[in-house]
Amino acid sequence: MKIVVTGAAGFIGSNLIKGLNARGIDDIIAVDDLTHGDKFRNLADLKIADYVDADDFYDLFAEGAYGQVEAIFHEGACSDTMELDGKYMMDNNYTLSCELFHACQDQGTRLLYASSAATYGGSDTFRESPEFEKPLNVYGYSKLLFDQRLRRELGAKFEGAGTQVAGFRYFNVYGPREQHKGRMASVAFHQFNQFQAEGKVKLFGEYGGYGPGGQMRDFVFIDDVVAVNLWFFDNPKQSGIFNLGTGKAQPFNDVALAVVNTLRKGKNAAALSLEDAARGGLIDYIDFPPALVGKYQSYTQADLSALRAAGCDHVFADVQTGVTAYMQWLNSTKG
């Protein structure tokens, strides 16, 4: 069984390969752009059959160069929400995805692809329906336009797909193998480094009607993202667009406190309450950046109705569980 993972050296792509390897699947073509060569570290401990540069893969796949491919996990994209080059964003996230979709349908290859919760943008309802889709940046729009294109060609729930097509609207994913993402890495990753360097973590102060650190997101652990992707891989009759979050929003304060207390525990220090951590200067609230005003989602929470209706009953980790596991992993690998 031949599998392709695009964005294979990235955060989600490399974790998907790890999940496939855990099942004994290693006939995997890894597709990426290693211009930034340090991303190789995400592939170094994984088993793959081949590596193909992203500039070469898509045309070759459309020509049938790789024979029968069972499924493509399409994670390759520009995911920088602050990227302002709309032409670059649309070429990478929309046009390329459209071409891949048509090639998959022509060749009978299943397509499981990364959409994004950024498609909801300024909405206060996070359900996979057009009236709630209000992207705040060109990244969110590029992801939404591909979803809309598929709805137009396949029907609202992709019922016209010849082979499985499933899109996942990732919410705030965090976990191992994201170190290369720079400013787009999760708040948990940045806070780990802040605590190691300064003995404190940083959070935004008041914004959007929320108190300091009170903005709420649906934070989802990478292991859960992999588990849901693989559930759909196991259920090839399920197509459509699905939210992939926990279904439970938690404040950034919860992330910060989990980071602080896990790292303190590693030094045999007692756990603190949020109030004590803030009072002791271990959580530092900073002014909200002007560059993000009007472009920032202060609240997200995945509506899991469609996911559950499809039959996926995966139980998601809460912030305390997931962030604790992540901090322990970071501590074990930092040397």
- Catalytic residue ranges: 139, 181
- Tokens 């290859």 locate to 109
Contact 112, 163 (CB under 8 A): no
Q: Which long-range contacts (CB under 8 A, 24 or more apart) does 329-333 make?
A: 329/175, 329/176, 330/176, 330/189, 330/192, 331/263, 331/266, 333/176
Query: What is the distance between the alpha carbons of residues 76 and 81, in angstroms, rounded to a whole number?
Result: 15
The three-state secondary structure class of 156 is coil
Which DSSP category does 251 fall into? E
3-state secondary structure 10-57: CHHHHHHHHHHHHCCCCCEEEEECCCCHHHHHHCCCCCCCEEEEHHHH
The three-state secondary structure class of 294 is coil
Contact 15, 35 (CB under 8 A): no
Residue 206, Cβ neighbours under 10 Å: how many? 14
